[in-house]
Amino acid sequence: MIKCHNLTLGYGSKNIVNSFNYEINSGEYLCIIGRNGCGKTTFLRGLAGVLRPKAGRIELRDNLRRNQIGYLPQITIAQKDFPASVEEIVLSAFQGKSLLLPFYGKALRKRADECLELTHATNLRKESFRELSGGQKQRVLLARALCAAERLLLLDEPVTGLDPESSQNMYNIIKDLHEQKKMTIVMVSHDVEAAKKYATRILNFNEIAQ
């Protein structure tokens, strides 16, 4: 699905990922582990198209298109306090896809409803995002990412800061997306035990970081 050719990623004059070659296959649940600063998030941002390669390239294969990739980055303080309804947050995933913004068509609204259902957040549709719990906010943001994720979902530490029950709920949702919806998952995590339990393959960035 994705092939990295001599990929180098970084910021300014500093390289974080160096001359990296790797392949991600369709249908995988790939978990990326490693110490802080070793390049996990940088690599995920490269896959998401947020960070452009400094050298090498990322090849999309198997007819994968950029608009079929969903990306859930680490949540920021500003996002946690964003003054909008859950429905508005999820629908914002379609900005740039509708020519009549902010008037979203029936098809886009139906897709948003489907994604809220997949993340068990349908009952939160009219709630204020800023008033939700941490686990609820993360499920809503996952629903937003899913609006774009027709085939591939990129997750950057999706359970960070969540209590054990909310973390387990999130893992269960991701597991269902992989097994029942046949979604390819690439997840950055510090939770090695969860990686061993759920992932079909583990990439340890400690072993490749330079």
CA proximity to 197, closest of 72, 36, 31: 31
In the prediction, which pLDDT does 192 show?
A: 94
Q: What does pTM read for this prediction?
A: 0.91
Mean pLDDT value across the chain: 91
DSSP the chain: -EEEEEEEEEETTEEEEEEEEEEE-TT-EEEEE--TTSSHHHHHHHHHTSS--SEEEEEE-TT--GGGEEEE-PPPHHHHT--SBHHHHHHGGGTTT-TTTTS--HHHHHHHHHHHHHTT-GGGTTSBGGGS-HHHHHHHHHHHHHTT-SSEEEEESTTTT--HHHHHHHHHHHHHHHHTS--EEEEE-S-HHHHHHH-SEEEEGGGT--
Q: What is the pLDDT of residues 19-37, one digit of tens each?
A: 999 999 999 999 999 999 8
Domains of the chain: 28-39+67-204 (3.40.50.300)
Q: What is the pLDDT of residues 46-78, one digit of tens each?
A: 999 999 999 999 999 999 999 899 999 987 655
Residue 180 pLDDT more than 80?
A: yes
- At 120-167, the pLDDT tens digits run 999 999 999 999 999 999 999 999 999 988 899 999 999 998 999 999
Q: Give the per-residue pLDDT at 102.
A: 55
